[in-house]
Amino acid sequence: MPNILREKVASGELATVMAAHNPLSARLAEEAGFDGIWASGFELSALYGLADVSLISMTQHLDMMRAMAEQMELPIVADIDTGFGNAINVIYAVQQYERAGASAVVIEDKSFPKVTSLVADGRQDLLRIEEFQGKIEAARAARRDPDFVIVARTEALIAGLGQDEALKRARAYEAAGADMILVHSKQKTPDEIEAFVKAWDGKAPIALVPTAYPQMTVARVRELKKIGLLIWGNHAVRASVGAMRKTFAQIRKDGGIHGVEGSIASVEDVFDLQGMGKVKDDEKRFLR
C-alpha cells in the first residue's frame, strides 16, 4: 500500500493529523476529513487514567494503534515517545509499529522514562545528541519500507535550552537520517516556534504540535512554509472529557436522562459508527 504520508512529505504538501486514542475516535477524525491520525501517547495514557510519563507499555500503545489501523485507510503517525528505551528498543519498536500498519513514527530526544511535555515545571532530561542520532539511525535500519516515515522530535525548547540548541539538534537529527523534524514548544504564543521555523536551514520538513499556542492556524502554517506535518495533539480526549463532564452533570442535576437527549449522539449514530448496518445486511445474506 502506498504511504500517503510519504507522498505528501515528498511533494511538499501539508498533512494535518488529528489525535485519536481508539478506533472510534480515529473514525470520527476520518469522517471530519483529516489527512491522518496521531496515535497520541498522552491521549492513551489519559484513557487509562494515567499520567503521560512512560507508564503505558509499548504493547498497550501498539495494540491500540493496530486496532485503529485495522479499521481505516488513513495513515497513522505513531507517537512512540522515547522509543521505549535505547537504540535496541527502537529497532524492535519500529519493526512492530511498521508491521502493525503505522505510516510514521515520532521518536523524541528525552531520556526514558519521559515526562509529558506541556506540564509546568516538568523534569525534562534530554539525551546526548550522539545517543539520539544512534536511535534515529537504528530506526532507519529497522524499517522495511523505505517510505516508512521517521520523525525525530526535539524537546530542546520544552527543556528551556533555547533556539540554538534546538537548531543544533534538528540539524544533527537530519544528518542521522530523520525524514522530518518535530519541534515542540509550550510557549503560549507561536513566537518561539515561528523563530525556529524561520531559522531552520535544513531540507527536512518540520512537524508542529501547536497545543500550547492555538493561534497557529493551517493558514499561518502554509504562510510560514517549511512545515510538512501539523498535529492537533490532544483534541479527541479533551473534547470527550468536556462532553462527558457536561452530560453527566446535567443528568445528575435533572435526575434523569431526558435533558441530554438533544445534545448527545443518538444510538443510531453509534450503530453507524459500529458498522451495525453491515451486520444486518450480512445477516440477511448468510444466516439461514
As annotated, the active-site residues are 52
Nearer to ligand SPV, 81 or 174 (CB): 81
Span near ligand SPV by CB under 6 A; candidates 40-48, 137-145, 172-180, 264-272: 40-48
Of the candidates 63, 38, 35, the one whose C-alpha atom is nearest the C-alpha of residue 234 is: 38
Q: Which of 23, 36, 41, 83 binds ligand SPV (CB under 6 A)?
A: 41
Contact assessment for residue 18 and residue 209, using Cβ atoms and an 8 Å cutoff: no
Nearer to ligand SPV, 116 or 250 (CB): 116
User: Which amino acid, residue 233?
Assistant: G
Site string for ligand SPV, 59-98 (x = CB under 6 A): --------------------x-------------------
User: How far is the CA of 69 from the CAs of 23, 76, 80, 102, in angstroms?
Assistant: 8, 7, 15, 7
What DSSP string describes 153-185?
Answer: EE-TTTTT-HHHHHHHHHHHHHHTT-SEEEE--
Residues 186-215 within binding reach of ligand SPV (CB under 6 A): 209, 211
Give the interface size with ligand SPV as a residue count (CB under 6 A).
14
Q: How far is the CB of 155 from ligand SPV (least distance, A)?
A: 8
- Binding of ligand SPV at residue 102 (CB under 6 A)? no
State CA 191 to chain mean position distance: 22
Nearer to Mg ion, 203 or 235 (CB): 235
Grid coordinates standing for 156?
Answer: 530542546
